[in-house]
Chains A and B, each alone.
Chain A
Amino acid sequence: QVKLLQSGAALVKPGDSVKMSCKASGYTFTDYIIHWVKQSHGKSLEWIGYINPYSGGTNYNEKFKSKATLTVDKSSSTAYMEFSRLTSEDSAIYYCARRVIDWGQGVMVTVSS
């Protein structure tokens, strides 16, 4: 069945970057868009953007355009999101999702000095 396995929790310092992964299995990786979503503690969800694994084409929420970079490695069926210039506001759980249908388990990112 479809599985999206995300990388482990990250503790990072303010100003640093973090790169998280989302390894897909159970389907043809290049057939479906991968979305990324942010969930701040106890709060609602924000759509960050998506990447088309076939073409590498991306679409970002303007709010995250200067913050997030989405990439894929087709050879390993893995999508990546890099979040840069981190602040405390970026502490959250980040999810990848195939077509906003199937979701990974989430990555908790904590930004703290």
Chain B
Amino acid sequence: DIQMTQSPSFLSASVGDRVTINCKASQNINKYLNWYQQKLGEAPKLLIYNTNNLQTGIPSRFSGSGSGTDYTLTISSLQPEDVATYFCLQHSSRPFTFGSGTKLEIK
């Protein structure tokens, strides 16, 4: 199985800050990497698919990048409504595997 190592586990930042979250795969996942946002008590919501494609309706302050084994989610200017836990998912090979999550809070 492909292991996804996500960092940091916890992140506290101020409104307006640039925030980055990372996922490292145990092998090449050929950009088959999605990012999700999960707010308390809600289902995960797709933000970015296949590394850098913004899902319809998602604000442009969210972006993704990466290749091979290393991937990054960037929030260009943190907003109060971005408080959530963020997960990555590799869907390059089965079983699909998720990162352990990054809990993002506002300072």
Give A39-92 interface residues, CB cut-off 8 Å to B: 44-47, 49, 59, 61-63
Query: In the complex, what residue of chain A is closest to B91 when comparing beta carbons?
Result: A100
A44-B87, A44-B99 known; A103 vs B94 contact (CB < 8 Å): no
CB pair A103 B87 closer than 8 Å: no
- Interface residues of B, dominant DSSP: loop
Cα distance, A100 to B99, chains bound together (Å): 15
CB distance from B5 to the nearest CB of A (A): 12
**Interface flag for A105 (CB, 8 Å):** yes
Docked pose: A45 CA to B97 CA in angstroms: 8
Verify B95–A103 contact, CB threshold 8 A. no
Please give the distance in Å from A100's CB to the nearest CB on chain B.
6
Query: Is A95 close to B, CB under 8 A?
Result: yes
Does B19 belong to the interface (CB within 8 Å)? no
Q: B49: which A residues are within 8 A, CB to CB?
A: 101
Range, interface on chain B: 10 to 19
Interface residues of B in 15-72 (CB under 8 A from A): 34, 43-46, 49, 55
Q: Does B75 contact A (CB under 8 A)?
A: no
Residues of A in contact (CB 8 Å), total: 18
Q: Which residue of A lies closest to B85 (CB)?
A: A44
Contact B97 A47 (CB under 8 A): yes
Q: Are A95 and B44 in contact (CB under 8 A)?
A: yes
| Contact B44–A103 (Cβ < 8 Å) | yes
The 9 closest A-B pairs by CB, nearest first: A61-B95, A47-B96, A103-B43, A45-B98, A44-B100, A44-B101, A101-B46, A47-B95, A44-B98
- Can you name 9 A-B pairs with beta carbons within 8 Å? A44-B87, A44-B99, A46-B98, A47-B95, A95-B43, A95-B44, A100-B34, A101-B49, A103-B44
